[in-house]
Structure 1
Amino acid sequence: MAQVRDGSALLEFRTVGTITRVSAIDPATNTEVVIQGPSSAGRATLTRTAIAKLNYVLGKRAG
């Protein structure tokens, strides 16, 4: 299963009101996923969720 190594994913955070949108990109495959969550959840929680989703998508594409 393909997985993103720690620190290798590119992350972008955009906050609008009480919602933060996080884009996570795997630079090796140019795969991008987007999650949205409450800003109150904290950056660490949103990062962990975005990386988990990115790993899930990479795993599905790997077969």
Structure 2
Amino acid sequence: MSRATDSGDGDAIVEFRRIGAALKVVAIDPATGTEVSMVGDPRLSRQELARLAVRKLQYVLNKQQQGQ
């Protein structure tokens, strides 16, 4: 497990799991416990995969805020 930061928007816990020929990336917002996952190409760097997962997490958090 590692920690990634999304350009000042806050921290997210990012976890990588190898599943067959793919890499599952999970991003969790520690403040809300909101979790998103994605499957990525293991040939991409972990930094790039983490950036994409955190971006997806921010999208979900923004959607949740708009729904309130």
Pick the TM interval, shorter chain: 0.7 to 0.9
TM-score, normalisation: structure 1: 0.85
Q: Partner amino acid for 1:15?
A: R
| 1:41-52 to 2 correspondences below 5 Å | 41-52=44-55
- Identical positions, percent: 44
Which consecutive unaligned segments of at least 5 residues does structure 1 have?
none
Q: State the alpha-carbon separation in 1 of the partners of residues 25 and 65 from structure 2.
A: 23
> Cα offset for 1:4?
4.5
Query: Which 4+ stretches in 1 moved above 2 angstroms?
Result: none
Q: Which residue is equivalent to 2:3? A: none
Q: Which residue is equivalent to 2:19? A: 16
TM-score, normalisation: structure 2: 0.79
Q: Give the number of the structure with larger relative contact order, counting CA–CA contacts within 8 Å between residues 6 or more apart.
A: 1
* Pairing 1:58–2:61 present: yes
Q: Which residue is equivalent to 2:33? A: 30
Structure with more of its chain in helix, by fraction? 1
